[in-house]
Each structure stands twice: as C-alpha cells, then as structure tokens.
Amino acid sequence: MSRRRAVVAVAAALALALTVPTAAAAAWRASTSAPAFSLSTSALAAPVTTCTSKPAVLGLSSYAQISWSPITDATSYTVTATNSANGATQVVATGVTATTIDITGSVLTSLLASVVRALLDGGTVVITVTAVTQKWTSPPSNGQPVVLSSLVGGLLGGVKCQN
Amino acid sequence: MHRRDDRVPRRVRWTAVLVAALVLGPGTVAAHAVWSDRRPLTAGVTSTGSLGAAASWTGSWSAWKPLLPGRSSDTAALRVSATGSGDTLRWRVNAAASVSAALAPYVSTQVFVGACGTGTPLPAGGYAPAGGYALGASVDLCLRVTLDPSAPSTTQAIALTPQITITVDQATS
C-alpha cells in the first residue's frame, strides 16, 4: 500500500470513529415538569394591644399594663414608646417573650428626654408592640397612649392609660 | 461395382455433435437442478422503542406550610414514572427545582427520593437502583424548601412559585 493510500485509510478511520456515537451519548432522555403548585412565605401579624391602668399600692407608683394576644410564629416582641408630639421613638424593651409589659414612670424616664418630654409637657407617650422572629418584624400594633397619672403622681413617677 | 460413398464429411459430423450438445445440454442441466420453492412470509412489525416521563402529585400536603426564616416546608410525594416502550429499557431519575428570583438568594431546595428528611437525597447525577428502573416502575420524590434564617423582613408574604423539572435518562449500565 502506498503512503498516500495509508494516509487516506487512517483519515477515514478517524472520521468514522468520531461520527459513531458512544453508548452514553446515545442514551435517551425525556423531561417533564411537575404539576404547578404554590407556596408563599409567611408573615407576622400585628399584635393587638390593650392597656390597663394599675393603681399605686404599697408605695409603688401607678403604672400602665400593656397586654396583647400572642402572635403565631413570633419568638419575641419589641415594645416601643413614641412621643406623640414630635414622633420621636425609643425602644422600651426587646426580646420580650411574655405578652404583657408594665409601663412605669421609671421605665419611661430611662428613655431619652425626647420621649419623656411629652409627658412633662402634658402630652402622651404612645406604646406599640411588634412581633419578631429572626429578622422578621410585624407591623406595629395599635398604639396605647399613656399619660402621667396626676400631677402629684407624675412627680412620683406614676403613669396611666389615657383612656 | 458401384459403391456409394457413405462417408460423412468431417465438418458435418462435428456440426452434428455440436448441435446435439446444445440440444441435450440444457436438458441434462435441468435434470441435475436442486428442487426449490419460494413462499412469501409475513414479517413481524418492528420499531424503535420510546422513552417519556410523567409526574403527578400524590399523598398529603400537610407539611407544605408558609415558610418562616430558618424553617422548611415539604411537598407531598411527586410520583415519577417513565412511559414508552422497550423490553430492556431501564431508566434513572433526576430533578431540578427552582423558585422565584426574588427569593432565590434566601431559599434553598433539596429533592429526596422517598420522604423528605428520611429519604435519600437525590444525587447530582440522578438516582436509580441497581440495573435501573424498568418501564412501568415509579419512584416518589419529595421537595424540601428552606428559608434562610437571615431572610430580611421584606421577604414576608411573597409567593415562591416553585418549579420542578423531572428528567428521565436511559440507564445504560
């Protein structure tokens, strides 16, 4: 066989080998989609709060007790005080696992003056609660305004629900 | 005495021999022919096989609940079967799941062969028992969707729209 014929034969063999599919490449494949279904992320509902005025007893000043119904999937709650006059907001407590919190004069006076000033000016501080789980927070609850219990009581740190 | 010349010329004699051979030759061949017969047969119809995939939901959706950060939700069983024809055809199953782009950074998916959590996580190359599934066999899959604990509050109340694409491959080994 001449060299030219040998070269042609080798080239033909290579071309044939490349065009013949391998077993893996020849395997059949079929696809389909699962029937449609839906899913959504959950959402934390806003707590609904109530306010109860607690009278002064045994040397303790009067205070306002804020309560709310537990929120499904919430792991804790954050309580916030807002100056109704200027909208300044301060966090009263975070990581609250109970569904009540007592708002006393001492609690409010621990906040910045921007919030407490509302009380001293005869205004109100509005308490709201948000439900929390991980980084999710619910919309704020309805606000519960609290005021000084009285001029004398206020000087002693007493507060009460406005309504 | 007059004697008739009966001798046949040589040329004529050879001609006669040749004619006799031509005439008798075919007959001799026919006598030696092997008997044969020919009859058309009804050929059986043959064709290539085929492979298709089918999937349908079955079982309970009780574990399919709205997602919360750090928690999972499991679908009902997705029953997958291969359709088609082929006596020796075997297949393996694979699946890919996806969710809406808005939540994709915070959502992970995992497909199980069998029940979610207790079944076998579907390998990247698909799954089949030894020898592959036969046509007519089915396998149940389950999709687990998990929302990352770091999902921001803005991911509340958003539709996921999960999608599962099932692939059935011919098992060649």
- Looking at the complex, does the CB of residue A75 fall below 8 Å from at least one CB of chain B? no
Q: Which residues pair with B11 in a beta bridge?
A: none
Q: Tell me which residue of B155, B93, B70 sits closest to A41, measured CA to CA.
A: B155
Continuous segment of H or E residues that includes residue A129: strand A125-133
Supply the DSSP symbol for A47: P
Q: How far is B168 from chain A (nearest CA, A)?
A: 5
User: What CA–CA distance (Å, rounded) separates B91 from B100?
Assistant: 30
> What's the start-to-end Cα distance of chain B, in Å?
106
Q: How far is B69 from chain A (nearest CA, A)?
A: 6
- Looking at the complex, does the CB of residue A67 fall below 8 Å from at least one CB of chain B? no
User: What CA–CA distance (Å, rounded) separates B48 from B6?
Assistant: 81
* Residues in B 114-173 with any Cβ partner in A closer than 8 A: 145, 147, 149-153, 155-172
Contact B165 A31 (CB under 8 A): yes
Question: Closest partner residue to B164 among A27, A33, A135, by Cβ?
Answer: A33
> What's the start-to-end Cα distance of chain A, in Å?
112
pLDDT in tens, B49-106: 889 999 999 999 999 999 999 999 999 999 999 988 887 889 999 999 999 888 999 9
Contact B161 A38 (CB under 8 A): yes
Question: Closest partner residue to B156 among A31, A35, A42, by Cβ?
Answer: A42
Question: How does residue B163 score in pLDDT terms, banded at 50, 70 and 90?
Answer: very high
Residue of B nearest to A138 (CA): B153
Do B52 and A30 touch, CB atoms closer than 8 A?
A: yes
Name which of B51, B156, B167, B169 to mutate to probe chain A: the one with the most chain A Cβ atoms within 10 A of its Cβ: B156
Token readout for A15 is: 């071309």
Task: Print the domain residue range for B104.
Answer: 52-170
User: What CA–CA distance (Å, rounded) separates B49 from A53?
Assistant: 82
Q: Is residue B24 part of a domain?
A: no
The better pLDDT of the pair B94, B18 is held by: B94
**pLDDT for residue B30 is more than 90:** no
Share above pLDDT 90 across residues of chain A, in percent, rounded to a whole number = 47
Number of H helices, E strands in chain B: 1, 9
At residue A10, the pLDDT reads: 65
pLDDT in tens, A97-145: 999 999 988 777 666 565 666 666 667 889 999 999 999 999 999 999 9
Number of domains chain B is built from:
1
Contact B172 A27 (CB under 8 A): yes
Do A132 and A77 touch, CB atoms closer than 8 A?
A: yes
Q: Tell me which residue of B162, B147, B161 sits closest to B71, measured CA to CA.
A: B147
What residue spans define the domains of chain A?
49-161
Type of residue numbered A69: S
CATH of the domain at B139: 2.60.40
Contact A40 B165 (CB under 8 A): no
CA distances from A163 to A56, A124, A160, B111 (A): 17, 11, 9, 55
CA distances from A40 to A18, B92, B100, B109, B114 (A): 50, 31, 10, 14, 24
Do A159 and A147 touch, CB atoms closer than 8 A?
A: yes
- Looking at the complex, does the CB of residue B105 fall below 8 Å from at least one CB of chain A? no
Q: Is residue B46 part of a domain?
A: no
At residue B29, the pLDDT reads: 53
φ/ψ (deg, to 5) at B12? -65, -40
Share above pLDDT 90 across residues of chain B, in percent, rounded to a whole number = 61
At residue A1, the pLDDT reads: 53
Question: How does residue A153 score in pLDDT terms, banded at 50, 70 and 90?
Answer: low
pLDDT in tens, B98-120: 998 889 999 999 999 999 999 99
CATH of the domain spanning A49-161, picked from 3.40.50.2020, 1.10.3720.10, 2.60.40.10, 3.40.50.10190:
2.60.40.10
Q: Tell me which residue of B92, B96, B91, B64 sits closest to B77, measured CA to CA.
A: B64
Q: Is residue B44 part of a domain?
A: no
Contact A27 B156 (CB under 8 A): no
The better pLDDT of the pair B100, B16 is held by: B100
Contact B170 A29 (CB under 8 A): yes
**pLDDT for residue B148 is more than 90:** yes
Do A64 and A102 touch, CB atoms closer than 8 A?
A: yes
Type of residue numbered A71: I
Q: Which residues contact A62 (CB under 8 A, 6 or more apart)?
A: A53, A54, A55, A56, A149, A153, A158, A159, A160
Question: How does residue B14 score in pLDDT terms, banded at 50, 70 and 90?
Answer: confident
CA atoms within 13 A on the CB side of B172: 9
Contact A135 B157 (CB under 8 A): no
- Looking at the complex, does the CB of residue A135 fall below 8 Å from at least one CB of chain B? yes
- Looking at the complex, does the CB of residue B64 fall below 8 Å from at least one CB of chain A? yes
Whole-model pTM? Answer: 0.71
